[in-house]
Structure 1
Amino acid sequence: MPAGVQGESVARNYAEALLTLARKAEDAAGWGGMLRQVATAIRSDVTLSRFLESPRISADAKSMVLSKALTDRVPRLFLRFLEQLVKNRRQMLIPTIADEYDTLLDASEGIVHARVTVARATSDEDTAMIAQRLSKIVGKTVVPHVNIDPSIIGGVVVRMGDTVMDGSVRRKLGKLRRR
């Protein structure tokens, strides 16, 4: 479910708080993996999602179920973080918080994710070349996530955060048409 701009902002704040806790525990990557597992469970298990989403079930009951399910599997502080999310009625933001956490962790390690749109499928070598060129431009390690959209006709459209680099044939034809 889309979180919206406000939800993403709230999720980013929670992700920053969790990253701070994870760094104090000296296991930022491990905590990110645990959060990703919880998020995946919420996204893929309809019963779990409906349980957490239901306004008829108290926050205490939800926390108790999480506690029983995770007590022996996650650090106590991580579990308390999840319980606080439930108490604040933010449990449905866990998948978005996981995405924001991954983004923050990667950014702290100099890794940037880019959505790369191409007109047709690319080979592994082409994808590696795109990653290499973008990394050189940005000065950080770029991980490309390639999407195919034949409507761009040719070229590449790259989105990294708020930055869009549009080298598509469709855009170039549009510029020619306007001239």
Structure 2
Amino acid sequence: MSELTTVARPYAKAAFEYAVEKSAIDQWADMLHFAGEVAKHEKLQALFTSNLGASQKADALIKICGEQLDTHGQNLIKVMAENERLPALPAVAELYAELRHEYAKEVEADVKSAVALSEDEQSKLSAALEKRLARKVKLKCSVDPSLISGTLVQVGDLVIDSSVKGQLGRMNQTLQS
């Protein structure tokens, strides 16, 4: 996957810089997300690695995406096809989303809790994370009963584990060492 990320980074950066210049950040995010999801399909991945010409590969993807891609989005697909980089399109969409969040000074926090968090708990957690990270935080909450109690918060590389399961695991490691 790291190879695809390396290949995708210049395309994501160029698309993002163009989107910022044209004040179309959200529009490009939607286009790239849609095209990236379409490109993940196994039949298209097989098409991308086939012996067809670059224009045929690009035309097939553009036709499938239809009106979801504007002229500039179609041009990106054509350039990527010419450089045999279409398999990296999902990674381009992911990297673009990261650049967008960085630009907006916002992060997405994955929050797992033993029970569903109330609106009040979510707003308090969001406020605490925003203060700690100095960024706007968007919570993505899910329930994981195996945590027993508490929460597990992941923001990028930062992990805050206040679950009973995590505390028991740390206690077990301490006792064994």
Q: Call closer, same or farther: CA 1:149–1:53 in 2, change over 3 Å.
A: farther
Match of 2:15 in 1: 18
Which of 108, 114, 119 is the aligned partner of 1:119? Answer: 114
Q: Call closer, same or farther: CA 1:65–1:112 in 2, change over 3 Å.
A: same
Q: Call closer, same or farther: CA 1:151–1:91 in 2, change over 3 Å.
A: same
Aligned residues: 174
* Partner Cα separation in structure 1 for residue 144 and residue 67 of structure 2: 45
Cα displacement (A) at 1:69: 6.1
Match of 2:88 in 1: 93
Match of 1:40 in 2: 37
Match of 1:59 in 2: 54
User: Larger deviation: 65-74 or 120-129?
Assistant: 65-74
* Partner Cα separation in structure 2 for residue 52 and residue 20 of structure 1: 29
Cα displacement (A) at 1:17: 1.5
Which of 156, 159, 164 is the aligned partner of 2:159? Answer: 164
- Give percent identity, aligned residues only: 25
* Partner Cα separation in structure 1 for residue 106 and residue 45 of structure 2: 34
Cα displacement (A) at 1:61: 0.9
> Aligned letter for 2:48?
E
* Partner Cα separation in structure 1 for residue 58 and residue 50 of structure 2: 14
SS at match of 2:162: strand
Cα displacement (A) at 1:88: 2.3
Cα displacement (A) at 1:59: 1.7
Q: Call closer, same or farther: CA 1:70–1:5 in 2, change over 3 Å.
A: closer
Match of 1:102 in 2: 97
Cα displacement (A) at 1:68: 5.5
Give yes or no for the alignment of 1:30 onto 2:48: no
> Aligned letter for 1:126?
E
Q: Call closer, same or farther: CA 1:121–1:67 in 2, change over 3 Å.
A: closer
* Partner Cα separation in structure 2 for residue 69 and residue 156 of structure 1: 41
Cα displacement (A) at 1:105: 0.7
Give yes or no for the alignment of 1:7 onto 2:8: no
Which of 137, 140, 144 is the aligned partner of 1:142? Answer: 137
After TM superposition, the score normalised by the length of structure 2 is 0.81
> Contact conserved, 1:153 with 1:170, CA < 8 A, in 2?
yes
After TM superposition, the score normalised by the length of structure 1 is 0.81
SS at match of 2:153: strand
